[in-house]
Amino acid sequence: MSTPTKLIVGLGNPGPKYEQTKHNLGFWVVNELLLRSQLPRLQPMCKSLIARTEWHDLEVIFAKPMTYMNNSGQAVSLMVKKFDISPQDLCVVYDDLNLNLGVLRMRKGGSDGGHNGMKSIIRHLDTQDFPRLRVGIGQVEGDWMDHVLNEFSDAEREYIDGTIPCAADAIETFVTEGVQTAMNRFNGRVPVGDNP
């Protein structure tokens, strides 16, 4: 396969109990990318489910850590070491309750923003200088844990279903044209339709 390698990691929690929850948006975006690239079934490796492929003339690895959200860094650090991934070639996709529903925000680096999955990754990699795509799940009043571990309402789900392809477009742009172009093109993007 060609180089350089890109590692795309979607964050979430394994198992059917969490499959449809807001905290699993990262998994949903990776699933959309797998469909686009017509990849075979994900294989267990590095405490994750991963697929390696040549996509847009680059070797790309798609991954869903199976460590549960709070320990995502264990899996990501294993993959980074095994495949010799540089920080700028890693992109992590995850839900963010600090962004309005459906809003996308690509960044080159930065703090964890209170997200436990990102906190774990930054701690294990010992750097916060790697790209990430945040997908807004909306503000919350009350217990944030209940918010992220609940499913979307029907109206919210219809809206967020329009966000997933857009988020996948942003990741595809990151792979083909780089993080700056993805930032310029997708930051602040929301799906068509009225926000519930």
Q: What is the DSSP string of 11-64?
A: ----STTTTTBGGGHHHHHHHHHHHHTT----EEETTEEEEEEEETTEEEEEEE
The residue count for the chain: 196
Q: How far apart are CA 164 and CA 3, in angstroms?
A: 27
Q: Coil, helix or strand for 65?
A: strand
Residue 78 CB neighbour total at 10 angstroms: 17
Residue 91 and residue 61 in contact, taking contact as beta carbons nearer than 8 Å: no
Is 23 in the active site?
A: yes
Residue 76 and residue 124 in contact, taking contact as beta carbons nearer than 8 Å: yes
Instruction: Name the catalytic one among 23, 56, 124, 147.
Output: 23
The DSSP secondary-structure symbol of 152 reads P
Catalytic residue positions?
23
